[in-house]
A and B are shown apart, each in its own frame.
Chain A
Amino acid sequence: MAKVVVDPITRIEGHLRIEVTEESGRITDAWASSTQFRGIEIILEGRDPRDAWAFTQRICGVCTVVHAITSCRAVEDALGIEVPPAGGLIRNLVHGMQTVQDHVIHFYHLHALDWVDVVSALDADPAGTAKLAASISPWPNNSATYFAEVQDRVRKFVQSGQLGIFTNGYWGHPAYKLPPEANLMAVAHYLEALDWQRDVIRVHTIFGGKNPHPNFLVGGMASAINLDGTGTINAESLTKVQDLIKRARAFVEQVYWPDLLAVASFYKDWAAIGGGVKNYISVGEYPDNGQWRDIDSMYLPRGVIFDRNLNEVLPYDQQKVKEYITSSWYDYKEGDKVALHPSKGETTPHYTGPQPPWTYIQDYDKYTWMKAPRYDDRPVEVGPLARMLVAYASGHSDVKEVVNDALGRLGVGPTALFSTLGRTAARGVETVLLARRLEYWFDALVARIKGGDTQTFNGDHWDPSTWPKSAQGYGFLEAARGALGHWVEIQDGAISHYQCVVPSTWNCSPRDVNGASGPYEAALTDNHPLVDPERPLEILRTIHSFDPCMACGVHVLDAEGHEVTQVRVNG
């Protein structure tokens, strides 16, 4: 049995170490270790709750809007602030575009090189690539001349001897299955997606002033609407937004989604690999009326699936969320065996690992900065797959249409979704649907403006003198990578307690008191190959299918002696 270490895991956000044991080409056990800790929540203590969005936003610069919006929701919940519908629609546009752009970047720039052999593209017949591309998409940039140019660049690049970011890639690994023509197509679109992602995200700049880290506001959005104004949201900026949404949708439908299906058709064996834990949660997202507490207005539904049972969607009860530290570098007052609800959360870091430099972390009982969240004492996967499964099982017509179409084209059944490939495909399904939905939200915003409703901000409780002496609240959101929750307590106008439970904490969670592994670890040991431990390409495939965001996962640190005694429970 061989011990295998992959550290750093690259093409993710943040710092992640994976260790596995391997025997006869199969992974027999796995450990996921998060190796960075920052501690944002204690920093928030004593500060103005209206500033919290900016602090929590800096938890992550990749999913750069999700913590900010969730923080605003939590503070608005605590202070009883309702966001005006136009402000809510702008948030949907900003968040929706974030998710669409993030998913496409993930596919091409973070995940594709696990499936696409750049060097093999040199052997492609550009005419064959053009034929392949034309057979799956009407995208105009599909000529043989174009693909020949790209191939020429690749050739010169390889010949230059300076491979830059492609140095030491696992090129030629037997697990790469795409024909050269498909590799060339994917490489060309990798390049196009670089321009596209830079372009479409300007929706954030229009409504929030910049990207990454656009600006938000408790009570709504700061970008005032005045069609006749300068320095406001006016006809010119709305036209730009509309155009960017169109461009986003065209690329998603004509490049990303066809590419994803084409690549997937060569890797159907990965529909039986890397499933992992069998439970899924979605907290629901995209309230059409701006009111996230009104779960009936959500485009994507809230719910829980246990044991992969698509015949039953259970209601989500946030009281069932608890976190273990049995395998994590923290102490609890009551010891390592108990689990705590986030409202009672303690985070007392206590490093017990080896002094660096170290060789193996798997030899230690505690091995990560991630806590282990559990729902009803079970490990749970969150993310696009969870959202699509909950929606599919809830009978969501848009989701069912696109999922069934994809399954039909690949010739696989719904159980194929419970896999590494299923995770990647579900992300594509969601992107297709959200790219469409952006137009719906844009039209709704324009209709409101036409009707004279331009209010983007509710200032009724902006002034701290209008706040109660003490208040508690929480906010939920479905981030690109899964279910996110912030809990806040405000005392005398300042934050007295703040806690986040984050998508990558769920997915990268270590073993709990029962020895149950989290989703990464479980996926790596679920029918999982590892042909060459020196070139662990298969590990990257499954880990990347989760789209890890480690800085998000590890940030928790709250002060001792601050227990929330009451948490408002909504739906």
Chain B
Amino acid sequence: MATAEIPYQETVPLHHPKTWLGKWVFSQDHKVIAVQYGITAMAVGLVALVLSQLMRIQLAWPDAMPWFGPDEYLSAITMHGMIMVIYLLTAFLLGAFGNFCVPLMCGARDMVFPFVNMLSYWVYLVSVIVLLAVYPLMLFTDVQPTGAGWTLYPPQTITAGTPGADWGIVLMLASLAIFIVAFTMGGLNYITTILQARTRGMTLMRMPLTVWGIFIATFLGLIAFPALFVSAVMMLLDRLIGTSFFMPAIVSLGQKLSYSGGQPLLFQHLFWFFGHPEVYIVALPAFGVVSDLISVHARKNIFGYRMMVWAIVAIGVLSLIVWAHHMYVAGMHPYFGFFFATTTLIIAVPTAIKVYNWTLTLWRANIKLTVPMLFALAFVLTFIMGGITGLFLGNVIIDIPLSDTYFVVAHFHMVMGVSPILAIFGGIYHWYPKLTGRMLNDTVGKWHFYITFIGTYVIYFPMHYLGFVGVPRRYYETALGEVYPDFYPASAHDLNVFITCAALVVGAAQILFIYNLVHSFFWGRKAGANPWGANSLEWRTPDTPPSHGNWGEQLPSVHRWAYDYGVPGEETDHIPQDVPRRAAS
């Protein structure tokens, strides 16, 4: 063997900012950028939460808000979906957790290109502003937010009659394109950091699963977002200069439009070529975070670490060839259903491996029901629940009667709405002490957990029933009530009222969380360097919260994996990654 490799970051000095602005606003420190990402994502997520509450109120009490008509309802649905999937979940899991965890857990001083990383946040902020600009514009002009549904299927997206078909959709597509630029800048950084800037002894197979989840998810993002970018560009051209990429010859409101010959299905294919990996872009980091939380708080090594890693990789690969299971009723090639149903069901295998491994990690473990652990357990339950309905929907024959009903709504909210959010909450409760040096309040946290967890089940369980009854998704209540008074069976409407009540409670409970975040920041209990007794490197920084450069003078050296909890024959119940192995006696 030749001379040992020297980490490049030991040879270059880190440039410390001098000014307040450089430290906290235009900061190139990955931890500050993580917080900026997190706060922005949470703020925009609150907007989406309010929108969902408005929709629920409309469904339960159609007459309560006369200003919230069908157009507003459709716009709210679109905005809610897009914000939650992209601007909250993707941005939080990769932007906030990715930025915070990757350098700390890999033992790097910072991301490889901190300036590009900072730019990533600011461009993301621009995309959020462009997205939300539609609301102030609504007050002064007749611009409406687009109401095409978050999937933005043409031709209805840009034909008259859909709210926001003139300018709302332009803002939405522009914002998406800007977001993709931001994501690319951040994503390149995360991947290069993980691949090229680890510390001594940190092999890929010693990385915590959080980093693995973020790694594969980011890579998926880098190769899936281009499809969305391309379709956004093409749709913008269709809308703005009248090309016909996606627009067939079409008669709209009695007028033959100037379009001809486009292929609407192409959009759906491109969209889901992005959209399905997107599900795993959101799910894989959540898997990783939950794996770490379960192992730390159950004081036991993760069961089958290698299988967990390979399952993440396998899910990532498979996710690229399952996209058209979202399109069984779209009128695509009839044989595609067979292909995509098969690949979809194959994905259940690595996913099931993960679930079994979580369960086996818990088996006879020393489970500590801390707040992060509660959220992690809730994630596993919710994910199983949403995943199993996914198996139903993945089969063409069962999907056809259920497609576009509330069954689908319940499925994807369980599996990629609630589950990742629970993982995010768990992660925040877990890493907040390292980030701020103070613990979050336990009692408030438990209240927040129980209301959120039970509440989401109360919300989404009945929706499966609504789906069986045949209630279509995205429908506004009164409009149908007037035209077809018996459209909603009484039982369905009563359920809607019930769901709305639960949703209002869950929504209000998030105030507890925000209160907890703010209050604990100033008055929380001091945390110390390693309150959970965790092994991974981020708990081994010389300062808490970690200072710029993370590691002081010397980069840590890694000697073992991150899961040495309760090792038989050892003195302590956990052995951090940078503790050398004992010489064999």
Please say whether chains A and B are actual partners in one complex.
no
Q: Which residue numbers of A lie inside 8 Å of B, CB to CB?
A: none
